[in-house]
Chains A and B, each alone.
Chain A
Amino acid sequence: QVQLQESGPGLVKPSETLSLTCTVSGGSISHYYWSWIRQPPGKGLEWIGDIYDSGSPKYNPSLKSRVTMSVDTSKNQFSLRLSFVTAADTAVYFCARDRLAYQAGDFDLWGRGTLVTVSS
């Protein structure tokens, strides 16, 4: 059974870079789109972007200038970097897999999420 697990620092200072990794276990990272989605405390969901196993990320324009996603197929991992963070970036960050291979869109598999707090 495929599972996702986010990892990374839970506390990041303002103006620094948030870095998270999602490890895919129980299955291959190939042939799927992989997304990052975040949820500020008590608020709704925001799609950050996605990446395919061969690269070619797609980002939400609202964050595009600060976001970088990458994939490491040899480690079955994909990563998120968000630069110049502020308190508004405090959120639970989820990694997720699209339901269908080769097709981006809805998400049938999610990590448990990791809370990242931006504070000095």
Chain B
Amino acid sequence: AQKITQTQPGMFVQEKEAVTLDCTYDTSDPSYGLFWYKQPSSGEMIFLIYQGSYDQQNATEGRYSLNFQKARKSANLVISASQLGDSAMYFCAMTIMNTGFQKLVFGTGTRLLVSP
């Protein structure tokens, strides 16, 4: 079954340090997309970064980078130089093709708390 696993319910990091949020996935499809979303306490879902299954290089977007290890089926999010505003829930998600149509499957999320 196609599934996303986030094993860290909560993570703590000090401001200005880097933090890695873990994500593993399970799919037999050769073509898939991996996404990270941020949900601050205000509730909205904010798209952060995307990695395609055929992409050779790890995706980067500003302070966010995705450590994609295809053989291990992992897509960890690395946040460099953490800021107080990074405190939020972070969700890893994967697009799967359901009878030819895209569907987004989410992990259970990791709550990140950045301390001063």
Instruction: Decide whether A and B are members of one complex.
Output: no
Residues of B within 8 A of A (CB): none
Residues of A within 8 A of B (CB): none
